Amino acid sequence: MDNQISIRRIAELAGVSVATVSRIINKTGRYSKETEARVHEIMDAYHYVPNMLAKGLRTSRNMTIGILIPDITGVYFGDVASTVQSYMFARGYASIILNTGRDKEQELACIRTLQSQQVSGVVHIVRENPADAGYINLPTVYLDADPAREPNQENVVNVTCDNVMGGYLGTKRMLDAGCRNIGILMTPQNYTHVKRLEGYEKALSEYGIAPDAGKQIHLERMSIRAARRAVKEYLANDPFDGIMCLNDAFAIGALKGLLELGVRVPEDVKIVGYDSSDMLAATNPAITTIIQPIDQVGETIANELLRMMEIGTPGEDAGEHSIIIPISLLDRDSV
C-alpha cells in the first residue's frame, strides 16, 4: 500500500514483458486484445499510476508546464493563470505555478527551478519589469510583456489585450457623458499602462483636447490606499470631472477618496476602472470598467503554448509572434 507499483511488477503479474505493458499503456505498437485486457485488469487491481519522472526522463518531455506570475493573488493575473492551469490540465499537463514576487533574484530562481523540472513550456506573466531571457530555449508565452523587448524570437509568443483600445473606450465613455477634464491614474513602469495612456490621449484628441501631462497621476504601487490619497491631493489643485483608472485598485481607491471628500459619483466626477469585474461591481456605486476577457486570454495562451510544444520549433506555420485580444467596456453606475 505504501510504495507505488511499477510497470515491471505489472508485467510480472500479467506474465508478459515490460515492453508489452508499455505498449499497452501508450497504445503504441501491437498487442493482442487478450493481453491488453489482462494487463488492464492488473493495473486497475493494483492501482497502477505511471511514474512521470521516469517517463519524462526517458522521453525528455514530462507533461508539465511552468507558470511564472508576479503573485497568484492578483485578480486578473491570478484568474488567467487559473484558466491556463485548468485548460492545460484537460490536455494532460500539470502546471508548476511560481510566484516571482517583485524580486529579480527570485524571478531567476524560478526560471532555474522550471528548467530543473524539465518543463515543456513556460507561461510568463509579467508586471513591471521586462523579464530576463534566462531560458534555454523553451517555448514561452508572455502575457502583457512589451513585445519590443523580445527580439522576435522563435519559440516565443506575446499575448496581451488591446490596451490602446481599453484606454480609448474608457475615456471616450466619459467624454461622451460630458466630461472635459479627465485625469488618469497609472503606473508608468507598466507597459500596458503606457499603451492605455496612448488610447486615453487618442480619445481626448478626438474631442479636440490636448494631452496635458499634469493630468497624469503617476503611482508607484498599485494599491487602493495610494490611489485614494493621490486623488484627494490632486483634486485640490485641479477639479477633474472624470478619472480613468488603469486598474481595479486605483478605481476603488479613487472612489473611496472622492466619496470621503463629499464628491458625488457620478454626478460630480465620473470614474472608469479596469479589470476585476466582481470587485468593481461590489462598490457603491458600481464602477464602469474595461473588461479583459480572461477565458479567452487563458485559452489563447494555452493554445499557443501547446502549438509550440507540439510542433517543436514553430517553423512554417509559426503563427503570430504577437497576439492582441479585444476588450470591452462594461457600463455600470460610475459614469
Partner DNA sequence: TTGTAAGCGTTATCAC
Partner DNA sequence: GTGATAACGCTTACAA
Residues lying near DNA in the complex (CB under 7 A) are found at 3-4, 6-8, 15-20, 22-23, 25-26, 28-32, 34-35, 48-51, 54-55, 57-60
- Of the candidate residues 99, 216, 296, 322, the single one contacting a second copy (CB under 8 A): 99
Which is nearest to 80 in space by CA: 110, 121, 117, 124?
Answer: 124
Residue 264, contacted partner among DNA, a second copy, none, CB below 5-8 A by kind? none
Cα-Cα end-to-end distance for the chain: 63
> CB-hemisphere CA count at 13 Å for 233?
14
Write the DSSP assignment of 147-165 as a string of letters: TTTS-S-TTEEEEEE-HHH
Least spacing, CB of residue 136 vs DNA, in Å: 13
Establish if 296 lies at the interface with a second copy (CB under 8 A): no
Residue 30, contacted partner among DNA, a second copy, none, CB below 5-8 A by kind? DNA
Which is nearest to 319 in space by CA: 138, 154, 111, 181?
Answer: 154
Residue 195, contacted partner among DNA, a second copy, none, CB below 5-8 A by kind? none
Integer Cα distance of 32 and 20 in angstroms = 10
Establish if 187 lies at the interface with a second copy (CB under 8 A): no
Establish if 189 lies at the interface with a second copy (CB under 8 A): no
Which three-class secondary structure state does DSSP give residue 143? strand
Strand partners of residue 184: 216, 244
Instruction: Compare residues 208 and 312 and give the one whose CB is closer to a second copy.
Output: 312
Q: 323 — phi, psi (to 5°)? A: -120, 130
Establish if 237 lies at the interface with a second copy (CB under 8 A): no
Q: Which residues sit at the interface with a second copy, rule CB under 8 A?
A: 1-4, 47, 49-54, 56-57, 62, 64, 71-73, 78-79, 81-82, 85-86, 89, 94-99, 101, 109-110, 112-118, 136-137, 224, 252, 255-256, 259, 278-279, 281-284
